[in-house]
Structure formats: C-alpha cells, structure tokens
Structure 1
Amino acid sequence: MALFDRFKADRVACDEIVILRDFERGVPIQPELPPGSTIDPDRTVVEAAITECKLRTDLANDRFFFTADAFISKDIAVDRPGLPSVTLEYGFNITFPEAMVAGCRPSQIQPDILRRLRCQIYDIKAQEYLTLDPAAGTFDETLILTVTVKIVFEDQILIPTPTPTVSPTVAPTVTPPICVVVSTLALEIVAGK
C-alpha cells in the first residue's frame, strides 16, 4: 500500500510580465534648489514593494485584470552648484491603474478553480526618470515597474512517500572467547594431536 504526504501549496494557473507606469508632474521640492542643480542618477535610489494585488475576473470578456498597491521609497541625490549635495527622501503609497493579464483567459481554467484564484507579484524592477525644474522648485517623474504577476490558487498536493524497506535479519557471527580457544588448543596438545 502506497503512503502519501499531503501538502498545501499555491499552484500557478498562469504568469506574465507586466509593465506598470506612474506619471507625476510638479512634485514640490524642499529645500529650494539654486539654478543649475542636477540629479545624480548614480546616487539616486528608488525601491518598490507591492503591498497588495487584487484580481478581477471579467467572464463576459474572458479576461483577467489586476490592481497593484505599492509602497515607493525614493532617495534622490541632487548636486547643487556651490553648495553641498542634498538627498531628497520621499516615501508614499500608490495604487497603479488596473492592468490586464493578456496571457491567459478565464475560459482556459476549470470553473471550480476560478473562484479560488488570486494574484501575486514577483520580480519587481523599478526604473525612475526624473526631470528637475529648480526655478519652479519641482520635479517631474515617470516611474516604471516591471513585474511578474502570477494568477494562483491554493491546492492540496499528494506526494507519494517511499515505503520503508525492511532488510532481512542476518545472524551475527559469534567468535568464541579467547580463553575457550586456548582451552581447546590445550586439550588437543594433551591428547597428542
């Protein structure tokens, strides 16, 4: 009889690389920057973390859509002529506009699994394009996130476990104690053998 281990795990119904974009114009800067200030792209760091992914199934159009909420953290390094460089720190939550998952369709998935689907996001890569306007005291930014969105469902998976093998019992070899061997030898010598 076979033995099985039961595991609960996410199964991937489909996955796809999707690009999410955010455009912000006229973001105010504090402190004020003198004319000729520039952004140093080598010291500027942008990080993104997805905080929630919401899946929407559109059965009428046979499409999946998702909305991603993210926390964005920016450290923008600015070189100011005649003054020390300054780092502008920003952190904010953002909801990206709804995006479509074009690589799979609800009609390709079993109906009993459709109601258990949800989305997860992996492999986030953030790119930031900044334009500084020191005279206005603002900057414009274009944030592009390249993400892998996975449409998954939780399932129980049975994995066969090997049955334990029983090795035949081997009788141990018994070596007679040395004193017995000596005694046997002594008896043979006495008997003249």
Structure 2
Amino acid sequence: MSITTSGPVGQRVRLRRVEPADRRTLMRFDRESSDTHYPKFDGYRHWGAHRAHHGDSGDDIQLAIETLLDRTLVGSLSASQAEPGSGRFGYGIGIGPQHRRRGYADDAITALLAFMFGRLRYRKCEVGIYDGNAASLALHGKLGFREEGRLRDPEFLCGGAQCLVLMGITATEFAARSPINHLRRAPRGRR
C-alpha cells in the first residue's frame, strides 16, 4: 500500500509515514510506557514504527499520528496482517503517555478504518486486546467493535493471568456508525 507523506486525516489527527526524525520521540514514548503494567508486546507499542527506513510490506504499514493543530507527534499506528484476498486486516496503536485521553486514538483509528474500508475495500478489521486493558476495550466498544471471543489459554503477564479478547468490526458496521466521509484530505501546503 502506498501512503504519501500526508495520509488519512481525521478530525484531530493526521496519519503519515514515519520519518527517521520521529524515532527519538517514539523511543521516548516506549521508555515512558515501560513503567505501565502492560508488557511491551501488549498490542502495539511504537517499536514497529521505529523501522521508518524499511519499506512497507504489501498492505502492512507503519504510520505516525500527528495533531492537525500543531503537527505534534502523539503516537504511532501499524496496520498489519492485511490479507487483501480475505478482506481482513488488524492494527496496533500506541499513544505517548502525555497525549492519552485526548481523543487521538479514537480519531486515528477512525481515520485508519475509513481508509482501509473506503479506499482499499477491506471488509473486516480484527484486533486482540488483553482483558486487563479496560481503556482499550472501552474505546473499541465505543467505536463499534464487537467481542468475538477470548483466547482460552491465558498469558501470565506481570504477575497475573490475562486473556486476549478478540474484537472485530466489518466495513458495513463501520459505515452504519461512522460514514466513510470522515476521511478527508490534508489541508494544502501542509505535509
């Protein structure tokens, strides 16, 4: 998949290619997040985006999330496991600790879904979230994702057992909740 420097745009954020200059900030987000009780491999931390010099593989992409207001880098997102033949994809998202609870994740996910469903014609998005991550489970529920199952063999992470909650949303469900016109082009003169 080809994303230009300026990609999908939401109401608050723009998704764009990760640039080498973003690495320092993304690595800082990782360090600052390491004291949380979720392990590095819970969903997506910013590690995938650090590979800005690597090309995207098929429809798997790493994107930076920056604010529209002042172009501040607030996180990163990775669309992965994209299978054009089956019409399915997944993603992981990481927002820097100081930028959380401001609606950036919600807006970035909505922009990604609009792009993947509207422009690339994928039919379903599937994600896995640890059951102890109440904020992410609530966010995905708000966005229209439905719980589709739980992995029965729990992981022992950070001193306790956690199951992986599998959630999904179809293009039809997304369109009914959030018309695809959420995807708009970046303002002229800004990349």
Structure with more of its chain in strand, by fraction:
1
State the TM-score, normalized to the length of structure 2.
Answer: 0.21
Q: Which has the higher contact order (CA 8 A, sep 6+)?
A: 1
State the TM-score, normalized to the length of structure 1.
Answer: 0.21
Compare CA radii of gyration and give the structure with the larger one. 1
Structure with more of its chain in helix, by fraction:
2
